[in-house]
Amino acid sequence: MPTTGVFNGTNLLLSVEGTNLGHTTSCSLTLSTDLPEATSKDSNGFQEVIAGVMSGEVSFDGLVTYDDTSNVTELADFLLARTQLTVVFGTETTGDRIFTAEGFLSSLEQSAEMESPVSYSGSITLTGQIAASDG
């Protein structure tokens, strides 16, 4: 049964290559459409656009633990090898909307502040069709 009402963001997960990213603290999915201008003299002074190329990006933040199945070291290996990844964004609740796509890591950062947990962040630029389905 799908989730009803407002739900806790902890329930939304990011899976890369079939494994949930370990110790994530946040993740987001951005979908966008390029809108090329189609204004002409017949537009009566109003801008007109057409739907163009669609794209997507997934970004994430987390805490570094080297013993996670999917961790910052594995992500760095994917980036350095230019590996195309399968990405799934959604909850594990049956009936909830999930997004599945292929993508490439476009950035990865690992940060270590004094007296704070080591953290990581990154983004995946999606390539090709983005499928939306009810899980």
The string over 32-67, giving b where at least 16 C-beta atoms fall within 10 Å of a residue's C-beta and e elsewhere, is eeeeeeeeeeeeeeeeeeeeeeeebebbbbbebeee
Q: Which residues pair with 29 in a beta bridge?
A: 58
**Top-level class of domain 13-34+51-134:** mainly beta
Q: In terms of DSSP H, where are the helices of 41-109?
A: 72-80
pLDDT, residue 69, reads: 87
The tokens describing 81, both together, are: 């090898």
**Contact status, residue 39 vs residue 84, Cβ threshold 8 Å:** no
* Burial (Cβ within 10 Å: 0-12, 13-18, ≥19) of residue 12: buried
For residue 120, how many other CB atoms are within 10 A of its CB?
25
Give me the sign of the Cα torsion angle 61, 63, 69, 75: positive
Q: Which residues pair with 2 in a beta bridge?
A: none
pLDDT, residue 1, reads: 85
Give me the average pLDDT of each 10-residue run along the chain (135 residues).
91 95 96 98 97 98 93 95 98 95 98 97 98 92
Its pTM surpasses 0.85: yes
